[in-house]
Structure 1
Amino acid sequence: MKNPESSRLLILTSHLTAHKPASIMASEKEAALSAVPSDSPTIFDKIINKEIPANVVYEDDKVLAFRDISPQAPTHILIIPKVKDGLTGISKAEKKHCEILGLLLYTAKLVAKQEGLETGFRLVINDGPDG
């Protein structure tokens, strides 16, 4: 069984555009800190569209979960919505986003069980450049 203190699942509720190429990003945190909302395709859009490979651990018609390429913990998984619908961060959430936000949390529970994290895990939500 994995150490729950060193495991985390990450929910990204946004699709962000990084200023630096993804290949030189040190981590998901650096990517989030240097990102700005945009309507242009992002690295996350490209992962969803299978244009960029990812180690997918869960997928359905609304949500995609995949391993971070620069993990900050033994279990570091990003969970993102497949459709933006104006949801570019928690600060932009509207009532119409309640279903997908709940589904992201439920997916975290499913993935945690799949990963053997029965004793606990951490969820992190980054929002905006200072998140």
Structure 2
Amino acid sequence: MECIFCKIVNGEIPASKVYENESVLAFKDINPVAPVHILIIPKKHYTSVLDIDTKSNILNEIFEAARVIAKELNIDESGFRLVTNTGESAGQTVKHIHFHLIGGRDMQWPPG
């Protein structure tokens, strides 16, 4: 498979992991936009949120990972942003659903 995130899950490409369980992996973004910039992915390949079965528990597990990571990195009280992009026009560059956990600085809206 050519998916870079699947290669990270399989250990073919190294990543700076910050969280892992049976179905979720989180690691530091190699191009951070804030002091804290973590990517949270399901280990199973889904192209986007549109591919996730509503009976699946994976989104709950991703949100639990975000909660745990935010607490461990001390951004749970100051605030953080959790973002996923779906499709090219929304900025999705890797076709494996991933959530950006971003914090450690004041955020602007709209993002930029």
TM-score normalised to structure 1 length: 0.64
Whole-angstrom distance in 1 between the partners of 2:7 and 2:52:
23
Match of 1:43 in 2: 4
Q: RMSD of the alignment, in Å?
A: 1.2
Is 2:55 the counterpart of 1:96? Answer: yes
User: Are the counterparts in 1 of residues 23 and 44 from structure 2 also a CA contact under 8 Å?
Assistant: yes
Which letter does structure 1 place at the counterpart of 2:72?
A: Q
- Offset of 1:90 from its aligned partner? 1.2
Which letter does structure 1 place at the counterpart of 2:29?
A: D
Q: Which has the higher contact order (CA 8 A, sep 6+)?
A: 1
How do residues 1-131 of structure 1 correspond to structure 2 at under 5 angstroms?
A: 40-84=1-45, 87-97=46-56, 99-119=57-77, 120-131=79-90
- Offset of 1:41 from its aligned partner? 3.0
Identical residues among aligned pairs (%): 47
Q: Number of residues paired by the alignment?
A: 89
Match of 2:101 in 1: none
SS at match of 1:95: coil
Deviations 1:41-80 (A, max 9, x none): 3110111111111000001110000000000111000000
Q: Give the structure with the higher percent helix.
A: 1
Runs of 4+ in 1 over 4 A off after TM superposition: none
